[in-house]
Amino acid sequence: MNSRQTTLSPARSNLALATLFLGMFVLGSGELLVVGVLDRIAADFHVTIPETGTLVTVYALGLAIGGPILTALTIRMEKKAVLCGAVALFIVCNLVAALTHFYILFLVLRFLIGALQGLFIAGAFMAAVAVVPVERIGKAIGIVISGVAMAGALGVPLGTLVGQTLGWRGSFMAIVAGAVVVLIGTAALIPTVPPAEAGVAHQARYAFAPKVLALLFLNFIVFSAIFATLTYLVPFLQDVTGVTGAMLSVFLLAYGAATAAGSFGGGRFADRNAGRTLTIGSVGIAACLLVLYLVGSVAWLVAVALLALGLCFYSMVPSLQVRVIALAGPGGQLAQSLPVSAANIGIAFGAFCGGVAIDGHGAPATVITGLIFAVVTIPVAWGTGLLKPPADARSPHETSTPVPQGADTS
């Protein structure tokens, strides 16, 4: 067994994964709850809604830029301590954000909170990989990722409900309370995870190798395809499908539930053959977007297309993570922070392109934009599936994260 792994009983391993799932859910909800209370934040700070939207942008920048930087700075630290430290600082920053009346400070705090979430995500993947056998790495990553999917499905509606009832500051305090539970669970249930023995420079040589960058590009283009459409799904449902009122929430919750289910199943697929999963998932996303465009006026078919889209999309996410770890080899610990950066850049780019499309040609154009990106992912996914990890990825003398059997290492 690789030295990066920690021997645990199945029960302890499951408790550790459940703690990491909860952490991803709470921190993910903290990222997304702002969307549901933008109007209240704007009124409280006496700024416009577009200005308040900057909170989403700076958080994404914190995740995409700050997360990898903090991961690099803590690469030689024991990972349980890193996780506890990230959650503790997350609590402090959210507490200050809930109490401040200075908008500039609030913006800075959102960037820092995003960076801390990025650090937690990388540490969570390292811990998840360490507490399971090699053949279950994909499943473990799928469980951790499903916390983010569940945050998207439930975190925003719950955060919005709390925000409307107790005010936006009350919703932030709810996140603080959840994070305290995560901190206690992390301290009690996550085992010691040894740090990387190699420094940042050594790991970066592998983490930023061309084959890893190719996988990160695939990650970027997949998220661009989804969010070119998803960002403007409500206008599409209203204008094309004719869905309004409470039914909008039903459609969105159905999509969110499908993403959660996809992440669980996707972990098993990643263990079997991550490269093949990415190719099949890419074809599935393109097919779902095509169907969504063609049957957009038929509500029940739109619902089916959205369910299938959520399943296909999040069934790919564990494989994207597994393949990056595998292709980075000895740089796997540093590389684990990079997919979330590529994803956030893809979200921003996809949302921008979808915005241009809807301004010029209406809501259906957002689906076509996403479909174009999705078609591009198919050959990219197929091509990256042919890539092999570095020859020394499985050397017992290296500091790599264990390569899962489904990561196409043959």
Question: Per residue, what are the HEC states of 139-164?
Answer: HHHHHHHHHHHHHHHHHHHHHHHHHH
Q: Counting Cβ atoms within 10 Å, is residue 141 exposed (0-12), middle (13-18) or buried (19+)?
A: buried
Say yes or no to pLDDT of 2 above 80: no
Q: Tell me the backbone φ, ψ of residue 232, rounded to 5 degrees.
A: -115, 30
| Residue 367 pLDDT grade (very low, low, confident, very high; cuts 50, 70, 90) | very high
pLDDT tens-digit readout, 296-346: 889 999 999 999 999 999 899 999 988 998 898 888 888 888 888 898 888
pLDDT tens-digit readout, 14-61: 899 999 999 999 999 888 788 767 778 888 999 886 677 778 778 888
**pLDDT score for 61:** 86
Q: How far apart are CA 56 and CA 347, in angstroms?
A: 11
| Residue 202 pLDDT grade (very low, low, confident, very high; cuts 50, 70, 90) | confident
What architecture is the 1-195 domain classified under in CATH? Answer: Up-down Bundle (1.20)
Segment 373-386 mean pLDDT: 95
Show the DSSP H helices in 190-245 as ranges.
Answer: 200-207, 210-230, 233-236
**pLDDT score for 197:** 65
Say yes or no to pLDDT of 399 above 50: no
Enumerate the domain spans of the chain.
1-195, 199-410
**pLDDT score for 278:** 95
1-195 and 199-410 have identical folds: yes
| CATH 1.20.1250.20 correct for 199-410 | yes
Q: Tell me the backbone φ, ψ of residue 406, rounded to 5 degrees.
A: -85, 10
When the pLDDT of each residue in the chain is averaged and rounded to a whole number, the result is 86
Distances in Å between the Cα of 251 and the Cα atoms of 72, 74, 229 are 40, 41, 14
Q: How far apart are CA 52 and CA 64, in angstroms?
A: 20
Show the DSSP H helices in 37-76 as ranges.
Answer: 38-45, 49-52, 54-61, 67-73
